Amino acid sequence: MPELSFADPSERDDLGAFAARAVRLDGQTVVRLRNRDGGRVDAWVATPFDVLATRTVLGSVEPGDVTVSGNELLAALAVSRADRIDPGPVLDLQWRSALPPQAHWQVVEEQLPAKIVADLTERGLTVARENVGPQGTPPASLLDQTVLTVSGDGLEVKIPMRCLFAMSGMGFLGAGDDEHVRITATDAWLRIDARFGAVVRRRHALLPLLV
């Protein structure tokens, strides 16, 4: 049986808010919990926008890398106020996304105003509402549209609309005028960190395997 421990009650609430947003986006979502250095746990979800979302809380999980139901985790966090909880049955086989590396990230933009990101997202959502596909989802052409290009540390990073939709859906952006986001990248990955969490996506599509 897995066990999730928290260093402080506020960390439980932070993870609960993350899980609630993820479940709202996808009622069948699973959450991957991984220990990292410094007594922290990274929580990961795969959003409907083909973008990963993550939040880090102070604590630990046993085993050190486990996937559980988003609904089960949310219920456990709501019911128990103990320092240690059972996050639910292990569903490791349901996690199908590769995770980015923990090291070798380069800072591309440190102080991008969150208001710029929020304004771009709102414009994109307006267009999406006017062009909803047959399954109620925005067209891929809109999701893949580059809405922001940032450069720094020898890298030029193009940010697609789907990353901003994922940030909005997960409620990661702060509302204050002094809020900023941080953009980092590796050769293969892009990451956008905001006040309440981060979204991560591959910068280039994987080539299909030859048969």
pTM for this entry: 0.93
Q: Can you give the pLDDT at residue 204?
A: 82
Which is the CATH superfamily of the domain at 3-94?
DNA Polymerase III, subunit A, domain 2 (3.10.150.10)
Q: Can you give the pLDDT at residue 211?
A: 47
Q: pLDDT (tens digit, 9 = 90+) per residue, 20-36?
A: 999 999 999 999 999 99
pLDDT of 59 higher than 80 = yes
User: Which among 181, 182, 190, 139 has a CA at the least distance from the CA of 163?
Assistant: 190
Helix/strand/coil for 133: coil
Q: Can you give the pLDDT at residue 131?
A: 78
pLDDT of 135 higher than 70 = no
Query: In sequence order, what DSSP letters do the residues of 70-99 get, joined into one string?
Result: HHHHHHHHHH--SSEE---S--GGG---PP
Rounded Cα–Cα distance for residues 57 and 44 (Å)? 11
Mean pLDDT of all residues in 186-206: 92
Instruction: Give residue limits of the domains in the chain.
Output: 3-94, 106-202
Length of the chain in residues, anyone?
A: 211
Q: pLDDT (tens digit, 9 = 90+) per residue, 156-171?
A: 999 999 999 999 999 9
Instruction: Find out whether 188 and 182 touch, Cβ atoms under 8 Å.
Output: no
